A and B are shown apart, each in its own frame.
Chain A
Amino acid sequence: MIQVQDLVKTYNGKVQAVKGVSFQVAPGEIFGFLGPNGAGKTTTVRILSGLMDPSSGTATVAGVQIPGDRQQLHRLIGVLFENSYLYETMTGKELLLFFCDLYRQPRKLVDELLELVEMTPKANELIKKYSKGMKQRLAIARALLHGPDILVMDEPFTGLDPTMVIELRDSIKRLKGSGLTILLSSHDLHEVNNICDSVVFIKAGKVVNKESVAECHRTMDVQFTILNPTPSILSCLDGYAVIDRSDDGHTIVVKMEKDEVQARLSELVKAGGLVQEVRLLERSVEDLYSELIMEDGR
């Protein structure tokens, strides 16, 4: 649904914000675009939303080439920014009706979308009285008004309190399964972990790694505490990446797939290993972030 190839963006011919970013997003996927502030996320999102052209490289969004026909692109994508971009002196319903008329969509869609983002009870209140979370949910409804195939969200959780985050997350989750592809740019690791199917990490304008969340959850760090860690016993763990090892050699942490743990434990015991403890250390997006972004920077 989205294919990005060697995307580069240079501002004023000097500052390179994006340095050859490539990734793919499958249809119907909720895709997390993660990175610290200043990593180049917003620039990439703006390019993919047709709000600016790349300096070089290409992207295809819902079959539309970038740079290319912006109007066609805007018909196929909905965009939600950190700033909700709403007319604050209108009511939520008035705003949606305005955009509905502007996009020439049936007006009954407004009620459906208000229901989807759970804003029906507040529909007739002025937007300036809404909380930031409510504004974001209304902005989602507005972004979906013209029936886009892709929803691009840039830092939607920024500035929200925990309740608002939960409400917004629920709204996004409800969109899952509707066939909509979602590109979610964020630095909120916890929310990305909760919502996204795949993530790409970007740092200093470059993609550091791409791994699906399912893949991330399939592998885990396993901590074996072995009382007699002889080389022949430890050879059962050969071939696995060693994440950590205690100085006395009794404790070793290796990375392996979940369904391999039982078999390796049996092998260790068969080889005469006295296994005192096995701890499964689940890897989250936070761990990946820590490995890819923070460790690299140290």
Chain B
Amino acid sequence: MNELFVLMKKDLRLLISESYFPIVILAIVALSGVAAFSAATDYSFFIQDPPMTLSIADKELKQLMCLLDFWKMVIPIEVLILLMVSSLTLSMEKENGMLRFILAYGKNRSLIFISKSLVVAMVSLIAVLIPALAFLLGIYTMGQEVLIDAGLMLASAAFPLLIMLSVSMLGILISSLSKKRHTAVIIAVMAFLVITGAYTSALEGGMIDASLEYHQEHIDQFMTNADARMLFPEDKKLMLLLNPLLMQEGLLHVLNLTGGEMNLAYVEAFAFYDEATDASIGIIMASSLFLMGYVSFMRYGKR
């Protein structure tokens, strides 16, 4: 039997049997439920009490905006959950000595790491599929017609998945650097605070800086996305580029909410890069973090 398959089977079995696993699934389901209910309620109120006569396209646009809000509510909390879960993967086995035991008996280090990463990637996938399903279910249970087709729904899940994969790989990196699980979880929570705090402060701070600079010369004019992109401070841009939450802007592209006058007032509608670049950044970020974790793990116990 393939060694990787054997290791993955074991890792999955261990994950499922951990006491925290049902809590994690329950948390994801509850979070998805609350966010879906909120999005569906928002949509229902909009439909029932419309500000104007609504066309199908208007309803679809509103549903897409609700989906965007839905993901923005779900993503930060799932980032925290996944960081914590993935930070436990290696650190728990380090703490109870099993990792050293298995490594001592000539088992392939690379496969051990890949197995852990794949299991965490599977959790990331579940963490994205449950909310996607919850959103559709939320709209449906409110008696509304689901106007977003399955393809678009899945495409919208792609960027949250890239975020989840990136933070999972970050969690594994933390795990491969930590000897104790409590240390790993504490670092994971700190990483979460840094990620969310840095994202908000860099994006909002950068927009304020860009806006101030723009309005020095263009009084009484709206700053366009192109202007904001040009005037956005480089240091804050770099901070965003290194932040997995930046991939949220990919959602705007997928849901086609970036262009048009309607969205210019929203910071959320602002995107630095196009869809392909956002996807590339996500893939590069997840791969780099995976490689860093791998290198760190390959050095484990050899000193």
Contacts and interface: CB of A to CB of B under 8 A. Distances in A.
Contact of A51 (B6, B17, B18, B104): B104
A71 interface: yes
A215 interface: no
Given A87-B98, A90-B13, A98-B10, A74 B105 contact: yes
Contact of B17 (A49, A50, A75, A90): A90
B97 A83 contact: yes
B289 to A, nearest CB: 27
Contact of B13 (A70, A74, A94, A104): A94
B97 A71 contact: no
Interface in A74-124: 74-75, 83, 85-90, 94, 98, 101-102, 104
A69 to B, nearest CB: 10
Nearest to B16: A89
A87 B97 CA distance: 10
Contact of B6 (A70, A75, A90, A102): A102
B255 to A, nearest CB: 41
Interface string B2-20: 0100110110011001100
B98 A98 contact: no
Given A85-B98, A90-B13, A98-B13, 5 more contacts: A89-B14, A98-B6, A98-B10, A101-B9, A104-B1
Given A85-B98, A94-B13, A102 B18 contact: no
B104 A90 contact: no
Interface in A40-68: 49-51
Contacts of B98: 85-87
B20 to A, nearest CB: 11
A102 B10 CA distance: 10
27 contacts: A49-B104, A50-B104, A70-B106, A71-B106, A74-B104, A74-B105, A74-B106, A83-B97, A85-B96, A85-B97, A85-B98, A86-B98, A87-B10, A87-B98, A88-B96, A90-B14, A94-B13, A98-B6, A98-B9, A98-B13, A101-B6, A101-B9, A102-B6, A102-B7, A102-B102, A102-B107, A104-B1
B101 interface: yes
Contacts, number: 40
B44 to A, nearest CB: 44
Interface of B: 1, 3, 6-7, 9-10, 13-14, 17-18, 96-98, 101-102, 104-107
Contacts of B105: 74
A173 B146 CA distance: 70
A167 B7 CA distance: 32
A36 to B, nearest CB: 24
Contacts of A94: 13
The interface residues of chain A, by DSSP majority, are classed as loop
Contacts of A49: 104
Contacts of A87: 10, 14, 98
Given A98-B6, A102-B6, A85 B101 contact: yes
A interface, how many residues as a size bin? 10 to 19
Nearest to B17: A89
A270 to B, nearest CB: 64
Contacts of B97: 83, 85
Given A51-B104, A85-B101, A101 B17 contact: no
A157 to B, nearest CB: 19
Contacts of A74: 104-106
A94 B238 CA distance: 48
Contacts of B102: 102
Contacts of B3: 102
A94 to B, nearest CB: 7
A8 to B, nearest CB: 21
Nearest to A78: B105
Contacts of A85: 96-98, 101
B16 to A, nearest CB: 9
A83 B97 CA distance: 9
Nearest to B101: A85
A89 B102 CA distance: 17
A190 B71 CA distance: 66
Contacts of A51: 104
A32 B154 CA distance: 64
A70 B301 CA distance: 15
Nearest to B2: A101
B112 to A, nearest CB: 10
Contacts of A98: 6, 9-10, 13
A51 B105 CA distance: 9
B155 to A, nearest CB: 37
Interface in A188-219: none
A71 B105 CA distance: 7
Candidate in B6, B98, B102 with the most chain A CB atoms within 10 angstroms = B6
